[in-house]
Structures are given as C-alpha cells and as structure tokens.
Structure 1
Amino acid sequence: MPLWGELIVAAAIGAGLLGIVFPVLPGGIIVGLSILVWAAIVGGWAWLVFAVAATLIVVGEVVKYVVAGKHLTSSGVPNGTIVVGGVVGIVGFFVIPVIGLFLGFILGAYVAEFIRTRQASAAWRGAMAAGKAALITMGIELFAALLAAGVWLSGAIAL
C-alpha cells in the first residue's frame, strides 16, 4: 500500500480513537473497519494483523460490559438508571454538542435515582456510580482500540 494509503488508514484509526473519547462515532468499530480495509488491500500477512486487532477489539467490548455491570451491581444501581441516563445524554448531546452527552447522562441518572430512592444524597451516589461505570467502559474500550492500533502500526511497518 502506498504511503498516502497508510496515512488515510491512520487518520481513520485516529478518528475512531477520538470517537471513543468523544462518543459521537462508534470508535471501536471504526478502528476495526479501518484495519479491515487495510488488510483487504495489502493481503497476505495483513489478515493475521487484522485478526489479532479484531480479537483485541472484541475482547475489549466484552470486558467493558462485564466490568461495568459488576461495578453497577456492587453499587446497587439498576439498569433502568443507565437507560434513563443514556436517553437524557443523547438529548443533551443535541442540546449542547459533545459535553451535553456527559452532562445529560449524569443528570438523567441523578433524576432516575432520585425518583427511585427519594433521597438526594443516594441519588447523587447512584449518578456518580453510573458515571464512573461509563468512564470505566470508555477506558477499557480505548485501551483495547489502542492495542489494536498498535498491532496495526507494527504490521504496517513490518509489511
């Protein structure tokens, strides 16, 4: 693949990584698809690079849900709180681009927990636990995608 092609793949991987940190784009999927396109063009050993990178991304996706679920279960936060936080976060994203997603998520989780517990301090603890779980999932997904990007970079240099 010519250098300009590698740079396009690198830019797409970078966009995917940014999509994880600023959840506007499906970051892990973009990273994986970028490496898939690269492997399809390069061929040969590039498919092994793609297989390793895809495995890392899939494992990261599974682990993030398991770890976040355990965190939420141990905190006593029900799934309904996460759903409400997610819906309000999506609305918040359109009201205040990017940062509204985070603010809306915390606000939605707080309101859901307040309705459930009828105590402001318990609602705040629940909202913070939900926010922490969201950050944990983001961190795990980012770590897995960065590992996949590192595998791709090593493969691109080697091939």
Structure 2
Amino acid sequence: MEAWQLVLVGMVMLLGLCGVLVPGVPGTWLVWSGVAWWSLHERTTLAWWVLVGATALLLVDQTVVWLLGPRRLRGVGITPRMALFAGAGALVGFVLLPVVGAVLGFVGGVYGSERLRLGGHGEAMLSTRTVMRAAGTSILVELLGCLLVAGVWVGAVIRG
C-alpha cells in the first residue's frame, strides 16, 4: 500500500475516533472500515490477523457498550422526553456549529429537559452531571476499544 493510501486510512480511523465522541456518528464502524480497507489492500497474514482481531475486539466492545449503557442510564432516570430533548439539541447544535455543536446541543437538551422537570437551575445541573457521567462511561468504553484497534493497526503498519 502506498503512503498516500496509508494516510487516507489513518484519516478514516482518526475520523472514527473523533466520531466516537460525537452523538450519531458511527465511529466504531469507521475505525473498523479503515482496518478492513487496509487489510484488503495488504493481503498479508499480519493484515488478516489484524482484521480478525479488530473485528473480535470491536464486537466485544459493542456488546459491553450495549449491556452497560441501558443499565447505567436506567439508574439515573433517563426519560423518553429527555432523550427527545437531547436528540433535538444535538441536531440543532450540529447545524449551528458542526461537530462540536452536537455535543453542546446534547448537553443543553438534557439540561433543558431537567430544568423543565425539576424547576430549578441547581437541581437541573446536578441531574445533568449525573446523566453525562452515566453516558460518558459507555463512550469511554467504546473509545478504548477503538484506540486499541488503532494502536494495533499503527504497530502493524510500522512492522509491515
């Protein structure tokens, strides 16, 4: 694989790593697709093992996120109305300020929902922090899996 192709694969993986942090962006899929693209072009034993390992690791990672997420979020009182406010806030934030605005809008939507439900600023801030901690755990688990895959890919490229 030529250097410019490796740079493109690296950019796809970097976009995937950033996408893990942004609601609605399929970051894990982008990281996996970068590894798949590289291994399909390399066609070496090392490349195939990296692809198999990345696939297995990301499947386990997604399973953990899937099992961990609802359990942690259920415990802090996520309501359908809060999810609607957070999703709408993320969409509006993304339109107003691409990428970064989605995260800010998501947090703003959670805060707005809690402010309406609880009535006061202090209670809404406390509840928003609790919700963000619960959601952050899932994001960190997903980010860790993607970082491990990216690190193995970088090691394989350097070795290969």
- TM > 0.5: yes
CA contact (8 A) 1:106 1:128 kept: no
In the alignment, structure 1 segments of 5+ residues that lack a partner are: none
Q: Which has the higher contact order (CA 8 A, sep 6+)?
A: 1
Equivalent residue number for residue 31 of structure 1: 31
The 5 Å alignment of 1:8-23 reads 8-22=8-22
Q: Which one-letter code corresponds to 1:102 in the other structure? A: V
Q: More displaced, 149-158 or 116-125?
A: 116-125
In the alignment, structure 2 segments of 5+ residues that lack a partner are: none
How far apart, in 1, do the equivalents of 2:150 and 2:98 lie? 27
How far apart, in 1, do the equivalents of 2:88 and 2:107 lie? 11
Map Cα deviations across residues 30-66 of structure 1 (whole Å, 9 max, x no partner). 1110110111111242222111112222222232233
Give identity over the alignment, percent.
Answer: 29
Q: More displaced, 143-152 or 4-13?
A: 4-13
Q: More displaced, 48-57 or 132-141?
A: 132-141
Closer, same or farther in 2 for the Cα pair 1:24/1:79, shift >3 Å? closer
Q: CA deviation at 1:120?
A: 4.5
How far apart, in 1, do the equivalents of 2:23 and 2:78 lie? 22
The 5 Å alignment of 1:94-133 reads 94-118=95-119, 120-133=121-134
Q: TM-score, normalized by length of structure 2?
A: 0.81
Equivalent residue number for residue 152 of structure 1: 153
Q: Which one-letter code corresponds to 2:9 in the other structure? A: V
Equivalent residue number for residue 6 of structure 2: 6
Q: CA deviation at 1:79?
A: 4.6
Q: TM-score, normalized by length of structure 1?
A: 0.81
CA contact (8 A) 1:77 1:129 kept: no
The 5 Å alignment of 1:82-101 reads 82-101=83-102
Q: CA deviation at 1:23?
A: 5.0
Q: CA deviation at 1:90?
A: 1.4
